[in-house]
Amino acid sequence: MLTSDEIQISENPNIRLKKATLDDLDFINELSYNEMNPIVSRAWRGKFRWESWFKDIKEALTLESHIILLIQVKRENIGCLWMNTETNSLWITSIVLKREWQRRKIGSQIMAHLINECKQDGIKTIELGVQQNNEAAMRFYTEIGFRKFDQIRSAGTDLLQLKLKDHRDLSYL
């Protein structure tokens, strides 16, 4: 799954995913904090431990079981996608875009690409967590076909799952 260092997304030649390295750690940490902090701070009531998140990202960049990709438009870093595969499942830890790049169909194009890749690789489900107070993300994922299957109450997080055999065509996105 997504084994090359650079991946072109859909028909848009300007959007691509590029494998992140430890050299990208500062960008990923800054992006994560700037874009996610307003949401996770409310959900975690100010108790989210960013130093632990930053440590986890650094470690994930060195593990083969994790895939961290930069999201680029015209070779400019505008976001990050962190995921890992388990038996028959893809877990998305985070997908983050700079605020000025949100709501431009980039996330939709990336998700359509991931779904197609997963289906080709025999993956049955895609799973992720969404902060319950992140209404825009919740709406985005449910429109694609994700459904709640569990929650983490202490983190204010709903766990969502997309069963690939049930998903509909995303070409309209």
Domain boundaries, the chain: 6-166
What pLDDT is stored for residue 10 in this prediction?
A: 65
Pairwise CA distance, residues 104 & 64, whole Å: 31
- CATH 3.40.630.30 assigned to domain 6-166? The reply is yes
What pLDDT is stored for residue 72 in this prediction?
A: 93
**What Cα–Cα distance (Å) separates residue 80 from each residue in 12, 27, 29, 46, 112?**
18, 9, 10, 23, 16
How do beta strands 89-97 and 125-131 pair?
parallel
What pLDDT is stored for residue 103 in this prediction?
A: 86
Long-range contact pairs involving 26-30 (C-beta distance under 8 Å, separation at least 24)? 27/70, 27/77, 27/80, 28/57, 28/68, 28/70, 28/80, 29/54, 29/57
pLDDT less than 50: residues of the chain: 172-173
What pLDDT is stored for residue 21 in this prediction?
A: 92
For the record, the structure tokens of 47 come out as 């108790």
What pLDDT is stored for residue 172 in this prediction?
A: 44
Judged by DSSP in three states, 126 sits in: strand
Place of tokens 């509909």: 168
What pLDDT is stored for residue 173 in this prediction?
A: 45
What pLDDT is stored for residue 4 in this prediction?
A: 62
What pLDDT is stored for residue 1 in this prediction?
A: 52
Say how many C-beta atoms besides its own lie within 10 A of residue 95's C-beta.
21
Among 122, 125, 134, smallest CA distance to 160 is for 125
The pTM score is 0.86
